[in-house]
Amino acid sequence: MNFNQSISAFERAQRSIPGGVNSPVRAFKSVGLNPVFVKKAKGTTITDLDGNQYIDCLASWGPMLFGHAHQRILSAIGEAAENGTSFGAPSQYETEMAERIIRMVPSIEMVRMVSSGTEATMSAIRLARGYTGREAFVKFAGNYHGHGDSFLIKAGSGAMTLGIPNSPGITKGTAKDTLMAEYNNLASVEALFQEKGSEIAAVILEPVAGNMGVVVPSKDFLQGLRDLCTQYGALLIFDEVITGFRLAKGGAQEYFGILPDLTTLGKIIGGGLPVGAYGGRKEIMEMMAPVGPVYQAGTLSGNPLAMAAGIAMLTMIEEQPDLYTEMERKAARLEDGIRRNLATTNIPGVINRVGSMMTLFFTDSPQVTNLEEAMTADTERYASYFKLSLESGIYLAPSQFECLFVSYAHTEEEIDRMIASNLEALKAIGR
């Protein structure tokens, strides 16, 4: 493949944008390449500036359940844009979006829209502190909740990919209120509650970790967190920015049957446009201004274009009865093919999958259930694997510690191509 136009675009971008990108993992730094610059995307196909085409397995980091540039979503955006792109005032789009989220997500009785997942998680923590009157909260090593100061301590996603999980600029005062626990290790959380239970406002986690690669929670772990939060009067917050509407209509909380007190959402509810939301029980949400004393605001919150796109997306989800069974079937087929390929090539690896989210870890470890085990992955081998996959027309996450997403739009032929590409790449890196 020829990448000349992308190389030139990256050189130009670096003169005016730090690192040439507006989100660090896009830089392809951990896979030793220059980033591919995308010109357009339609369905499951991405086309770069040089005209190279790829089967997209990234789905804009999750939200494209039905593929890129779906006509219903484009039409909804166009119709909304005819009436104005931003009001800074209430519109019925916001109410309809809220009503749909409340109908679909089991634990949410009221919801507040924001413009990003980071805003949602920051606001949820502030609300939990305001509601409980406590300051500390528990997070898990390898979980990523956006780039808010309190969260960038042993964080996942780009911070983990680039090897900078503790960002400069985070004050000691901020860090002291962030209590770290180990994912899938309930005892580590119990110890924190035994020591500081009266100070802990909330426990926040990705109910399926997607930012240290996919790491699957045990049912006992999630239920144990629910029980501990109830026992000590802390709030349980599920960060469902990735899992919300991807694993089930009601997200991971429906999938696992565990209800949090607060939920953060993003990605899918914007149909590909910038968006975020947080919601929960009415008594908690009514602590937010203008009803209550906890303040949060945003000029572009509930933006009509994002709301219109999100409403179209949620409508399509509700109208497609086989959505989750089909994504499960396709993802299971892809997983089975990769497992056969690993066995054929005798390359050590662990595949973690929940629904349509999946990660292949290149590791000798028998399992990956937490950050420590995820970090045993061979990132150099992944970099070689990524490069070979890209050259064969498969667009994966440019990091070992992210997800592959299967969409409803992926065809049987495309799944077969992914499996075939995987086999050829594994053969090449195994030499």
Residue 392: what residue type? S
For position 152, what pLDDT does the model report?
Answer: 75
| 130-187 per-position pLDDT tens digit | 999 999 999 999 999 998 877 877 654 544 444 444 667 777 777 788 999 999 999 9
| 42-83 per-position pLDDT tens digit | 999 999 999 999 999 999 999 999 999 999 999 999 999 999
Residue in 54, 93, 131, 144 annotated catalytic: 144
The mean per-residue pLDDT over the stretch 329-351 comes to 98
For position 161, what pLDDT does the model report?
Answer: 41
Contacts by 413-421, CB closer than 8 A, 24 or more apart:
414/44, 414/55, 415/330, 415/333, 415/334, 415/337, 416/337, 417/55, 417/393, 418/55, 418/57, 418/334, 418/337, 418/394, 419/334, 419/337, 419/338, 419/341, 421/388, 421/389, 421/392, 421/393, 421/394
Q: Reply yes or no on whether 385 is catalytic.
A: no
> Taking 80 as the threshold, does the pLDDT of residue 425 lie above it?
yes
What value does the mean pLDDT of the chain take?
A: 94
Q: Tell me the Ramachandran region of residue 46: left when phi exceeds 0, alpha when psi lies from -120 to 50, beta otherwise.
A: beta
Residue 264: what residue type? T
Which residues on neighbouring strands pair with residue 262, listed in sequence order?
237, 280
For position 156, what pLDDT does the model report?
Answer: 47
Nearest to 349 by CA among 335, 339, 357: 339
CB atoms within 10 A of CB 140: 27
Residue in 48, 56, 239, 261 annotated catalytic: 239
- Indicate the pTM of the whole model: 0.95
> Which domains are present in the chain?
4-69+323-429 (3.90.1150.10), 71-319 (3.40.640.10)
Residue in 29, 139, 154, 267 annotated catalytic: 267
The mean per-residue pLDDT over the stretch 322-345 comes to 98
Q: Which residues contact 331 (CB under 8 A, 6 or more apart)?
A: 353, 355, 356, 357, 358, 406
Burial, 133: exposed, middle or buried (Cβ in 10 Å; 0-12, 13-18, 19+)?
exposed
Q: Reply yes or no on whether 176 is catalytic.
A: no
> Taking 70 as the threshold, does the pLDDT of residue 195 lie above it?
yes
The mean per-residue pLDDT over the stretch 398-407 comes to 96
The mean per-residue pLDDT over the stretch 399-421 comes to 97
CA atoms within 13 A on the CB side of 143: 32
For position 158, what pLDDT does the model report?
Answer: 46
Q: Reply yes or no on whether 239 is catalytic.
A: yes
